[in-house]
Amino acid sequence: MGPAEVEVEPRADAGQSRPLVREAWLERASLLPATPGVYLLKDQDGVVVYVGKAKNLRNRVRSYFQARSSDGREFIRRLASLLGDIETVITRSEKEALLVEREMIRRHSPRFNVIWRDDKQYLCLRVDPTHEYPWVEVVRQMGDDGARYFGPFHSASAARRTLRVVNRHFRLRTCRDAVLYHRTRPCLEYQIGRCPAPCVLDIDRVRYRESVEDVLMFLDGNGRALAKKLEGRMWEASERQEYEVAAHYRDQRDAVERTLERQQVVFSTLSNQDVFGLYRERDMLAIAVLEVRRGRVENVTTQLFREPTEGEDDEVLESFLLQRYAATEAPPEEILTPVALRSADALAEILGEQRGRKVRVLHPKRGDRRALLALAAENAAHGFREQERKLGNTGRALVGLKERLRLTRIPVRIECYDISNFQGAEIVGSRVVFEHGAPKKAAYRRYRVKTIHGQDDFASLYEVLSRRVRRGIEADDLPDLMVIDGGRGQLNVAKAVFRDYGIKGVDLVSLAKSRVVGSDADDATVRSSERVFLVDEEDPVVLARASAELHVLTRLRDEAHRFAISFHRDRRGSKGLRSRLQDAPGIGPRRRKALLSTLGSLKRIEAATRAELAEVPGLGRAAAEAFFRWLHPDPSDDLASSGGAIDRPAGDEAGHTQDANAPDGDA
């Protein structure tokens, strides 16, 4: 099904009055079909600015251009002059229109639609029951791989808290397969009684499988049945006089019951529900979600959206629900909303197909369900106040930065860049990102400087910033403010990059560290103030040492410096070991490649035993023994001092220096 593009009426001349423009679009909308479908509104540059769905395309689009439209959204008032084209997609039903709308919003990211940009960042817990030794791991995306997924947890702390309970009391392994199948002795988890060490010990597989089933019951929400089951095992072990085993079951039972005690009983039915509350203030929005499982509130989360969120409450919630459940394994059987959704039936049908059973989308007006909605609304308002309180000082600091540094806008997204090298070698750069004054680590980047040889920080900075802004122009994701670690010279380099690439609308400053300027009467060191250099300003700005504005900038600068230094040290360490491999007698490109592909990393090559090295294809037992002795030399070993040769296959010359694992591009 492709978009059925309707021919656009000729645009009005520039001198035409706004009412005539509206009338022209009103006439144009009257030509649209009176069927269900999706409409895409484009600006005069052809960019999609809004995507909507309708039971009747003609009536819905006409409503935007009527003189007395009840739609109070800001962009509607200037839509007639902004609009350049309308495209439509005809669908067979309202349900199909919902699905197409969601896909079009994902594809075009229209600026006037409600888009929940972090909908795929929620944590889930994953258990693969088919594995020899299943374990619980934290993942961010669900897959169709036969594993069981639990979540998503819309609070990272809730996911980690659940995982801590599992790891502490149910004794499943916590290591990944790469560690499980290559460990030679039990780890600390075994020593403190939290893992049976299946990696090296011959454990009771029946009991391990029993623990896996208990964990699945716990994560499924069957806590009360699990507690009774564990209590029964406790008494059975006690009767057999296996008191340590009984104590273990008792601790498991107590942990499950403590988890149950933290959950509030809300009403007598055992429905699984997600209950939504909504709170608005100014152009900000908070949405609270109560996750009710078997009559108990198991989790409450509130998300604050600080960007302008236009749209009626039903439209906002509908969009939020579609995008939220696109990332989950299955929605619950009931979804309660504080307002009636116009597409509730179509939405329920979509979610029911995803769940495999019926889902009801309800707007209750009385009874226990209405009380739950009131609780969700209270949580939304409270969460809004709490997050506003936490972000209040930072928000004032960002406003202060705009005023003190004479920026063009409040710097919601700030990026900071630093260059690090050691005597001109292994030159690297770093980018750290703060949004709303807090680190956004998923957006951090490390750069290897590729074209500069020798110590030239200015040229290195030019390369790093050029690569950043070039990609930023392509992806349209440049920040509000760029901060460069350094003084006037570094700022001039950044200015040159902005000039060469035609960057406008992004503020630019540099932050110079304080310097030692002398000592006082007590011989204590006296340092200068931190200085902020501005574009086209001769004198730097000196912010008060205790100010929140300077605190934001120095945190940003110190984080960029830490990130660059850690990458630089990693590069030097990796290069050192890689050079050792190249110098190893008898280890040419083929054997280096085999070592890296089999053992997975340079660090594990150093830690490998003789037996593990002998299993590497193409190495052999004698060569593995000699290589092990070369890695771990013994002063009395002739090989260590003589650099004796290792048997190698024909054509694998040890003198080759090709690196089979050398990375390229940004790290």
Separation between Cα atoms, residue 550 and residue 188, nearest integer Å: 43
The reported pLDDT for the residue numbered 583 is 67
Q: What is the DSSP string of 269-307?
A: S---EEEEEEEEETTEEEEEEEEEETTEEEEEEEEEE-S
Check the CA dihedral 543-544-550-554 and report its sign.
positive
Domain 4-108 has CATH 3.40.1440.10: yes
- Phi and psi, residue 195, nearest 5°: -150, 135
Q: Which residues pair with 43 in a beta bridge?
A: 83
Level-2 CATH architecture, domain 273-387: 2-Layer Sandwich (3.30)
Which mean pLDDT values do the consecutive 10-residue runs of the chain (667 residues) have? 37 39 80 87 84 88 76 67 82 80 80 59 78 85 76 66 81 85 86 86 88 84 79 87 85 77 51 86 77 70 65 80 73 89 87 85 86 84 70 74 88 90 70 88 86 81 93 87 92 94 91 71 64 90 84 89 73 52 75 80 80 86 84 56 38 35 38
The 3-class SS string of 473-496 reads HHHCCCCCEEEEECCHHHHHHHHH
Instruction: With H, G, I as helix, E, B as strand and everything else as coil, classify residue 63.
Output: helix
Domains 4-108 and 273-387 share a fold: no
Cα 344 → chain centroid: 30
State the maximum Cα–Cα separation within the chain, in Å, rounded to a whole number: 97
Per the CB < 8 A criterion, the answer to whether 364 and 373 are in contact is yes
Cβ atoms of 275 and 290 closer than 8 Å: yes
Query: What pLDDT score does 434 carry?
Result: 92
The residues spanned by each domain of the chain are 4-108, 123-264, 273-387, 413-570, 584-667
55: nearest Cα among 74, 69, 39, 31: 39
- Is the CB of residue 38 less than 8 Å from the CB of residue 53? yes
Distance, in Å, from the CA atom of 227 to the CA atom of 6, rounded to the nearest integer, reads 63
Among 1.10.520.10, 1.10.150.20, 3.40.50.720, 3.20.20.70, name the CATH number for the domain at 584-667: 1.10.150.20
| Domain 413-570 = CATH 3.40.630.30 | no
